[in-house]
Every structure is written in C-alpha cells, then in structure tokens.
Structure 1
C-alpha cells in the first residue's frame, strides 16, 4: 500500500484551514522522516456516549500534569495507596502507578532500542510519558495478557471538520474507516504512518497498532529514527516535537517523564489512573474556567486533583495561560541532591586516533578492526565521560551492531572510545566512519573502510564422473556441480563465470561445441553472475551438445582467482540414428533379411 503521510496538527497551534494546508504539503512530500506518527483526534476518553459499543474514542492528547508532590520512588505501591487512585496524597501517589503489561511493554521497547540503536539512549520513562499523554496508559491498562487493547482506541474521522482532513489510506484495515483516516491505538498513530513505522513488539508475527507492545516499540523507533541522542536535552526536545510539534505538548511530556524518573510502581492491568483533561479543555494545575472542546462539549469543571484551586501544599498553582517552560531533564530538581559535576565535554580540545588498524572486510563478514579514538584536553591527557558519536557515511550497507548506522559511546577513564562492531553488507567499495565529540566543535576524525567481494581460492568438482554425451544430447547435470572454498572453508556467495573456451591456452569463447541456454532459449557459451550457495556449492545449468563431436573445454573462474577447467567429451551419434540425448534405438527392417 502506498503510504500517504499526514502531519499531526493541534487546534491550539493553528486553525483548521492552516492545518489542512500543512497536511496537504506534507502528504505531497512523501517523507517518512518528516511525518509525526498520528493526527489530531480531539475526543475525551470520558465522553463516549456516541461511540460504537466496545470502542474507546481517542483524545487530542491529555493535558493532566503530574501531582505537585513527588512519587515515593519505590518499586511497589506505597502503604495505604492503590493503583486506582483516591483522594489527597493517596491520589497523588497513585499517579505514579503504571499498569503491569503497559509498563512491561515500555521496558521491553527500551531494551530493544538499546540493542538496535544504542546511540539513541531511549529511556522507557519517555514512552511512559507519551503513553500517559496520548491514551492514559492504554486507557488505564485496559489490555489482555498479550498487550492487545480490549477496546480499540480510535479517534474521530479526520474529515476536515474541526480536524485535519486525511482521506482513507488503508482501506479501513487499521481504523475500520474506508472514507477517512482515524488516529489509532495507545500511541495514536495514523494508518499511513503505521504502515512504515509499525513494529512487532510481542513476537506474534503481527504489527498491531492496538497492541501496547507493538505500539510502544514503534513509538521508540519513531523517536530514534534520526541521528538523535535522547540523553541530550536538545535532541530529546527535537524528538518529542517531531511526535507532536507543540510547545504545550513538549512541556507536558517532559513533566511526566521527569515524574516517572523520580519513581513509579506497577499496578494491576485495568486499574491505572485515567486522565481527565484533553488538550481542548482544562490542562493546568489550576483551571477555574474550563473551555468547551470536541472532547468536552459542555466545558464543565475538572475533577482532577489540584484543579480549581490546588489542594497540594507548597508552590502556588501556575498560570494556566502560560505553558510550563521545557526543562533540561538531565538537571536535578531535588534541592537536597548535590549539584551535578561540570560537563567534561568543554575540556576536550582534540580528538585523536587511538591506534585504529586497517578497516577491511569481505562482504557479509565482520570487520576485524574497530575504530578507536581518544578525547584529549589541552595538556594532552585523556578526558573521561565524554560522548563520542560514530557514524557510517557514504553509500554502503555496512552496519554497526543492531543494524545501526550511528552509535554514541562514552569515553573511558583514559579518554578512549571504541566504536561498536562493524559488519560489512553485500555492497563492495569504500565508505567512511566519522567520529565526533557530541556537543563540541572539536574537529572530528574520518576513517576509510573497504568492503571487498566474497572470494574463493579453490574450485573443484564434487563428482569424478566423466562428462560425456552424444552429439545433440545433454550432459548429466549431477556431474556439473562444483565446490568453492577459501582457506579451506566453504566460500558462500562467491560470484563465478562459466565459459566454453577454445583451448587450454586460449581463453577465447568457443564457436562450436556444447553451450548453455539463456532465458530466451538461445545458445550461449558464457554465463556470468553465477553464485555459490551457503555451502559453497555451484550447480551449473544444463549443457547442450550440438552436432560437433570431439573434446571441448569448460572453464569456471571465481572472484579471488579460483579456476577450474573441465573436459567435455562429445561422441558422434550412430549413423542413421536420430540424436536423442545419447540414447540409441534400433529401427526394425521393413522386411526380414534372407
């Protein structure tokens, strides 16, 4: 299916007319890297009176902010609290409870991204924050044991009536709507984005946007799709804004991420605290005058703890007309904690090579050498705890571990950083490994890496059977099997050329004798692009003899220089007997002989 990519648009950011124009422009670009994963939906989870039974409607996004008091930080519910909420301080602590299956999905996604894209440094708390804002942690953990929503979360039709207009792109496959697209699932993807961003997070062989394991992993890959390091505040903000380009949304997600980082605990599925305020309605710690929205038609007072006059001791409620300022999530907020040590990056004045060897590998093999650099200060000493980014640059399918094209590595106590293991793809030629210091203007280093084609140094027949046939017949295919090896091991994926040559000392193509057939059935005496299988075996195509009898030569050569010349014997067909591939029959006489 051709994916049509739409941009997620917020009523709080632009008018419907502007939104429609922006979606049209982005749809025309067909650029997955520019496409937020989901579209404006604008419904409150609490306003479901007109929904199809069993189907929850998706919110624009929830603006509920974390409680003003911090979570306990324990891995289990604090005494006297429950996952379902409550009043006062109990309700505040209950906000840090995350449904068990949902929490497991976030942590599994973090582990997979740590392996496949280690340079991204995705924290599970970021997924939890987005999941909280998008769907209230999958409607409070309303999922089965496999992580699939018991009631799919669907937004309203994106028909341009108060939302961006996105006509159907999936034939109703994901959202059940064959006229317009709808935002789907706990992470609110639109179908056209899910088509390329979807992942199978629970290993059941399906990519289901209504499964929290699949949706969480897809969201993680979406946030890590660019060369961003999410442990860096600027890159983190960029990633969140790529999910939804709204400063309000950014501030809300950062607030929840920091809240979960201070502490969280697991609650039973289905008992998570449900948010109450969609972005079209009230969304601050103090909202005395909620405004109507498609998700909250009548406005109405908010019943979320802290709204309409905070019951929390301490700081004064913030002005609801001003969104919280995005903060650097790496900075401590607890005044009792000691201040962070200065960033060592600023002391780096040079990035030097640390005895990196020659970078070369055969296609499909791992490089024996790895790039190694050292971050130094002005005194020439190594600087520890500095982040170095290694990037693969150029036209190549070589990859670091985890199928990654970049990785961020922290320097050791000696200031050394070693790139992850590099594996060559099938594309031969040279490319560059670039090393740079993250957050520094210090000149980086470029290393040239080379991938050579797979090779064989020996080629031999697997059978000692003589290759003979009568004129006009065919040779036994079972006797035309060769094996290629390299340094004694089977040489798989090695390209080979087979040619019928004129003589032992004349490699020119023969003009008579046996031949192969091309795709059109024409006789050819040279075949290129043959390739050995995983065991190093090369089964030659069928050879056909013409009417010429005698001894002929078949020469097979491989990348790496292995060569084998095979003799082919063609005997003349018996006189008066038609050529039929080597078998002869006796034609009875018309009358008995005397």
Structure 2
C-alpha cells in the first residue's frame, strides 16, 4: 500500500479532506507510480523492508505481517432504519458484506471500548478502531471462529520472528503463549507478541485469566495499549502515534485508518463464523482467511517466508520439501525445507542466514546509572527518576536498545502515563531514563524492575517508597477567641489550614485531642468535648483528614459545668501541631435596675 493519507481521520463524521484521503488509500493499488506484480503484490522497488531493530519489540505485534485488503471503494448506503455504525445493527440489511463483524467479536470490541472510556475518558477510544485493528490483524479472529466465551477454537499465531524477512525477537515466554522456545510470534486475534502481552494483557471477560487468544481479553488489552501515554485518539497526531505504536508501518497506519472510517459508516453484526475472510498479507503470502498460523507447528523453524500452512481438515498442513536444483522465483518466498529439530533458545536457526548482531544482542547486563533515593508522599510525583545503563560484558555502554520498566508489588503507583509499564531507549552513553513515577494513595514499598527488551539478561530492581501525606504547619483560619458558658456550646467551630513547604497539604490525616495541659498531652476527662453520633461526650477525634485545599473544620464543641481554660491539640502526619485555647466561664451578670440608679 503505497499511498499516503493527506490527513488523519477525526472522530465523528469525515471531513471532505479526510474522505478524499480515504479514497486515495482505497485506490492505493491503482495509484500512479505503484508497481504491482501479476499476483497483485507491490513490487520490491516499492516495498519497505522491515528493520529488525525498528521498534519491533516496542510494538504490540513486533511489526508482524498483517492483512492488507481494503474495504470496497463504492459501498451502498445503509438501508433505511438500519444502523449507522455506532450501534452495530444485527440484521445487516442493505449493507456490504465487508462491513460484517462477527457478533461475539463485535461485542468484545464494544465492551472493551466502553471499559477503556470509563477508565481513561480522555483517550476517546472508538470501538471502530479496535475493529479496524482486529480486521487487519486476524480478520476478526478468522471470521469469528470463537466459542461462547470469545476464545478462538485454535490459537492464532503469526510467523516466527527470527529475522528471516521479519524482525528478530528472541523467545521471551519460554513458549508459554506461542509454543516457540526459540523466537517469539504474535498471538491471538489482536496479535500481541508475548513480551508485550506479559504487561499489557487484561481480563476482559471476567473469568480470572488473561488469554491473548480470547477476543474479550485481547480487545481490552489493545484498548489500554492504544490509550497509554495519555494519548487522545480524537486528536489526529495522537491517533497516528497510537496506531504506529501497534505496528510501526506507514502502510499499516493507512490500512487501519481506512477500515476505521469504513466501520464508522458500514459496520453491522453477522453470526459468528460467517465474517468475511481476508487472504492477502503484507509479507506477500496469501491464505483463505485463517488469520495467522493455527498452531506452533504451522511454520517450519528456519523458514524464511513466514507463510502459514494452508488450512485443511481443521488442522495445519505440512510444508512441501523444497527443490534445491530449481531456483526460486524472485517474487515468491523460498519454499520451506523439511522440518528440522527446533534449535535451542538464543541460537541461530540451522541453515539460516548468519545475521549480524544487533545492539540488543551485545548487552550483557543492566545496572543502575546513579538513581537516587526513590521516595514520595502519597499523591505526589517522585522527584527522582530511575536511570538504568545497558552494558556489554566488558562494561561498554550500549545505545539504542530498549529497557522496560515494570512496577510491581501492592501499590497503586504508576508512571505519569497512568500505566505500570514504560519503555525507554538508551542514549549514546547506554542510559535509559524511566518516565516520572507518580505515587498513589497506598503507602509502603514497591519495586520497579528494569529489564532489557528482546533478551533475557541480568536486570535491576529499584525499591520505591510512598509515605503518608504530611503537613509541616497548622494555622487557624480566624483568630476569634473561643469562649463558652458552662453547659453551653461554643459559637464558633475550629477550622485550621495545613500546609507543607508553603503549599496546601491536601488529604492529610489528623487527630484532635482535648489535652490535660501543655506538658501533659493525655486526654482530659473534663471540660470541653465533642459529641459522637449518639450524643455522648468525646474528647479525641481520630481519622480526620484535610480537604483538597488543606482545610480541616472540626465538629462543634460543647462545655460541661467545669469552668477554666482548656487546650485542644491538633496534630497531623508529618509532625505539624497546633494548640488552641478554649475558655469556659460564666456569663457576665446583667446590672440590676437598682444598681444602675
């Protein structure tokens, strides 16, 4: 797909410029200057070769192949009374078949988008974007071949990411998700690579599991993935960034945007298993709508093509032996050889090309790069940022490798993006700096692990501490003397302002106690008191907290029959203390008429 969009697609109705751009993308294979072979594929001169180091591991899919078919240029308008694309009409009457989305898969997209909108309303995620990505990644789970819970009948696996025509991503999950213990593969309806699923995976259907082959789980994970970093998908630039972060290809971007706009106008529900099946992929291979491979054995280890086996009988087909004496056609991938034993992890594929080491291959370990003490009060940003250096075995820095920072432990702390995972690129000195950490409300220690993306090497663990919100100063908001008669109620309530380093100390815990004396902070058993819910005297209040402006207003105070001067002491976490004077004295007797005369 060689054509470019002149502008991004905005949420809602398309503008004239966007509509024109969509037409341009739909016509890409017919655009002037684009050469296609007799199989309808883009010529080698126009194709963009994948760069094994170009954001492969940093993308959701590892830049795996995707389906390139575009929706039809001329589609009939929806029939009167049917859906306009927002509600997902179940009849599909009068609508093009390409707009059909299997019912369970459509339900997963919509529920995922709703959950993400509730959690991250500023992202403005349209469900049609999830549908567009699901269409180009797996043909909506092979046309909706899922069970009632949304799990595919067989795994959907992309080709082996061994560097032979694709990015090279060494095994990160010991084959747990993709069945391959040497290299990673994209997995499931939304085609997550295992290392991304490890942190981005979600439980979308509430069964307690995070399964990349479940469309509810995968769609919810994709939604949160697209909404990280505070992106607003109603903004053209953020929408583009989000899609490119899923698969770092401009052609991929254009394909997804085209389907996004199409589904906004023409989507409708069809029965599971009857969705339209794509066949042409970005790596030049073709299929009959199986999505990606159906299992770990569907691609021979070491195959350069990455072409999945043709479906048949519900299983996978064995590859045909190659003919070494017959040169391969230049416009087709070389047929795979007979299956050979799978090599050990981290080893080159036997018989495959010798690939030069990437920067990631040269990293021996990660180490701390001078990170200071990680401490912040609840609700505050950590002033210190984590710095980690990637080094070779002999201590030389390694630049341009990705370091993943993962927050773990019983904490609600996140990075500034709101996510618990962030990836940063090392600079020329080998140092990657994590985004700002944001403390939540849970106090205590948690850990941030720094690990290398793409290989398993010795990482670094950082302990971070969240302390309680604190105040260092308390002052009364007014200076009116607090005076009461015996058995009466104080006219004014006590209100104080808490600050920390001159700024309002919001939501700081406080205690108020009527003390015996300045030298004896124990609770007084006589004099002024508060009332509990039943009207009984209470002289200590715990669990108080300042408001968002740092203000704390105490309940009304009452006096018993004891007269004199009494003390109310207010303390907060952080050591702020204020002692307030209370006076209980009889009312002045009014002068009698005789005395006045």
State the Cα deviation string for residues 325-353 of structure 1 (Å, max 9, x = none).
9xxxxxxx999xxx986432221112111
Residue 556 of structure 1 deviates from its aligned partner by 1.0
User: Does residue 382 in structure 1 map to residue 397 in structure 2?
Assistant: yes
State the Cα deviation string for residues 514-555 of structure 1 (Å, max 9, x = none).
111123332110001212223322211110111222211111
Choose from 515, 519, 538 the match for 2:552: 538
Q: Which runs of 5+ in 1 are unaligned?
A: 1-70, 96-118, 157-180, 221-229, 251-255, 292-315, 326-332, 576-583, 589-594
Aligned to 2:570: 556
Counterparts of 1:406-485 in structure 2, within 5 Å, are 406-478=421-493, 480-485=494-499
Aligned to 1:240: 191
Q: Determine the C-alpha separation between the residues in 1 that align with 2:485 and 2:73.
A: 75
Choose from 500, 518, 543 the match for 1:529: 543
Residue 231 of structure 1 deviates from its aligned partner by 10
State the Cα deviation string for residues 435-465 of structure 1 (Å, max 9, x = none).
1112322121111111111222222222221
Is contact 1:345-1:386 (8 Å) kept? Answer: yes
Residue 260 of structure 1 deviates from its aligned partner by 6.6
Q: Determine the C-alpha separation between the residues in 2 that align with 1:412 and 1:141.
A: 52
Q: Determine the C-alpha separation between the residues in 2 that align with 1:548 and 1:317.
A: 90
Q: Determine the C-alpha separation between the residues in 2 that align with 1:553 and 1:574.
A: 23
Secondary structure of 1:346's aligned partner: helix
Counterparts of 1:91-490 in structure 2, within 5 Å, are 121-122=59-60, 149-150=84-85, 152-154=87-89, 183=104, 185=106, 188-189=107-108, 196-197=115-116, 212=128, 234=184, 236-237=186-187, 240=191, 242=211, 244=213, 261=251, 264=254, 280=274, 283=277, 319=310, 321=312, 342-478=357-493, 480-490=494-504
Residue 267 of structure 1 deviates from its aligned partner by 6.5
Is contact 2:485-2:587 (8 Å) kept? Answer: yes
Choose from 66, 72, 80 the match for 2:2: 72
Residue 358 of structure 1 deviates from its aligned partner by 0.9
Secondary structure of 2:521's aligned partner: strand
Q: Determine the C-alpha separation between the residues in 2 that align with 1:278 and 1:434.
A: 42
Residue 245 of structure 1 deviates from its aligned partner by 5.3
Q: Which runs of 5+ in 2 are unaligned?
A: 7-17, 37-56, 92-101, 137-166, 170-182, 193-210, 220-245, 281-286, 289-306, 319-330, 334-353
Q: Determine the C-alpha separation between the residues in 2 that align with 1:457 and 1:466.
A: 24
Residue 377 of structure 1 deviates from its aligned partner by 0.6
TM-score (norm 2): 0.53
Is contact 2:571-2:577 (8 Å) kept? Answer: yes
Residue 282 of structure 1 deviates from its aligned partner by 8.1
State the Cα deviation string for residues 224-265 of structure 1 (Å, max 9, x = none).
xxxxxx99683743553756459xx99xxxxx9799736737
- Over the aligned positions, Cα root-mean-square deviation in angstroms equals 5.7
Secondary structure of 2:372's aligned partner: coil
Secondary structure of 1:345's aligned partner: helix
Aligned to 1:509: 523
Choose from 579, 588, 597 the match for 1:565: 579
Is contact 1:501-1:555 (8 Å) kept? Answer: yes
Is contact 1:499-1:555 (8 Å) kept? Answer: yes
Secondary structure of 1:261's aligned partner: helix
Is contact 1:397-1:425 (8 Å) kept? Answer: yes
Distance change (3 Å), C-alpha of 1:235 and 1:469: farther
Residue 277 of structure 1 deviates from its aligned partner by 13
Distance change (3 Å), C-alpha of 1:467 and 1:124: farther
Distance change (3 Å), C-alpha of 1:219 and 1:432: farther
Moved more, 464-473 or 341-350: 341-350
Residue 416 of structure 1 deviates from its aligned partner by 0.8
State the Cα deviation string for residues 391-445 of structure 1 (Å, max 9, x = none).
1111111110111111111211221111110111122111111111123221211
Residue 488 of structure 1 deviates from its aligned partner by 2.7
Q: Determine the C-alpha separation between the residues in 2 that align with 1:430 and 1:482.
A: 31
Is contact 2:61-2:247 (8 Å) kept? Answer: no
Distance change (3 Å), C-alpha of 1:217 and 1:483: farther
Secondary structure of 2:555's aligned partner: coil
Q: How many residues align?
A: 397
Q: Determine the C-alpha separation between the residues in 2 that align with 1:138 and 1:124.
A: 30
